C-alpha cells in the first residue's frame, strides 16, 4: 500500500527525520522516501498481516 503525503511544514532534515521515525514506530518495515525540496514523502507500507 502506498502512502503519499505533502507536508508544507517539512522545512528541514530534522522535521523529515521525525516524520520518518513516526511512520516507522507503527510500520518498522516501511520504506520511506523523502523529497525535502518538494515537501513530499512517499512510503510503501507492507501489506497488513492476517490475524
Instruction: Flag whether the pTM goes above 0.85.
Output: no
d(CA 28, CA 33): 14
Q: What was the pLDDT predicted at 42?
A: 95
Which runs of E-coded beta strand occur in 1-51? 2-6, 31-35, 40-44
Question: Tens digits of per-residue pLDDT, 1-51?
Answer: 788 999 999 999 999 999 999 999 988 888 999 999 999 999 987 766 654
Structure confidence at residue 1 (pLDDT):
75
Residue 44 in grid coordinates: 510503501
Q: What is the pLDDT of residue 18?
A: 95
> Residue ranges of the domains in the chain?
2-44
2-44 has which fold? Alpha-Beta Plaits (3.30.70)
Amino acid at each position: 500500500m502506498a502512502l503519499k503525503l505533502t507536508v508544507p511544514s517539512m522545512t528541514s532534515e530534522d522535521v523529515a527525520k521525525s516524520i520518518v521515525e513516526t511512520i516507522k514506530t507503527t510500520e518498522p518495515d516501511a520504506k520511506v522516501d523523502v523529497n525535502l525540496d518538494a515537501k513530499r514523502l512517499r512510503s510503501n507500507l507492507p501489506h497488513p498481516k492476517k490475524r
